[in-house]
Copies of this chain bind each other. A is one copy, B any other.
Amino acid sequence: MATGKVWLVGAGSGAPDLLTLRAARVLQQADIVFHDALVNPQVLELAAVAKRQAVGKRCGELSSTQRFINRRLIEAARRYANVVRLKGGDPMLFGRAQEEIDALQQAGIEVEVVPGVSAMFAASATLNRSLTRRGLSRSVVVLTPRIGQGCADHDWARAALCADTAVLYMAARQAQAITRALLAVGMSAQHPVVLVENASLPDERVITATLGELPACARELGHGPALVMMGEVYAGLMAQVQALQPKVA
């Protein structure tokens, strides 16, 4: 039986023109597209001739959902030449790509990953603040916190403390527990923090704070995906961001 190919494509941070040229071409040639709930509808329009299937996985749902997605990708590759799995950001950072790659390769199906622009780069562009900075930041840790699930609870907090700049994905809704853990490992309550919601989208929002103010500030966020960014590179950002968006009192 002839077998198609599956492309794991990064849709980028949200703005449709932050897609790569390669991703746009692969979408245009797709027979079927399985996409995350968060992917911008304008990006999907590029897949003009493809069937579109939402696989609305968000963090926290049952892992059986992932097995279901894997099975649908395998079935699609047995029917169609070009199958696209479209994910927000870059597939290889918090995208659960490995589970899909492994399942497809075990089924003898060719997989190719097309990189994308992760939200932290779009957020950095909005802020006009580099993640690294000569003399101030030579290391950036990107992580998703693990709250209240056992003895290794604070490993992520120590990783955040060890690097000069830290970017927390899927963290803003747990701001109180995160703040507590970071203070517990010795991060200062005065540590500069910035929240960026819906990076690169028209309803993008920026809130500057300190670590101590993070829980109160996070309550001001809406329902979009939000990054928590922290480090000395964000010191003094407030005055500049105020022009863009009023700071939460």
Contact present for B138 and A139 (CB under 8 Å): no
CA gap between A94 and B121 in the complex, in Å: 12
Scoring A residues 141 to 177 as 1 if CB is less than 8 Å from chain B, else 0, what string do you get? 1111010000000011011011110000000000000
CA gap between A18 and B92 in the complex, in Å: 15
Size category of the binding interface on chain A:
35 or more
16 contacts between A and B (CB under 8 A): A10-B121, A17-B21, A17-B22, A17-B25, A63-B134, A90-B117, A92-B121, A96-B130, A96-B134, A98-B133, A114-B125, A139-B143, A139-B156, A143-B163, A159-B164, A161-B162
Copies of this chain, tallied across the complex: 2
Is A32 located at the chain interface by the 8 A CB criterion?
Answer: no
Residues in chain A within 8 A of chain B (CB atoms): 10, 12-13, 15-22, 24-25, 63, 90-99, 101, 105, 111-118, 121-122, 124-125, 128-134, 138-144, 146, 155-156, 158-159, 161-164, 200, 233
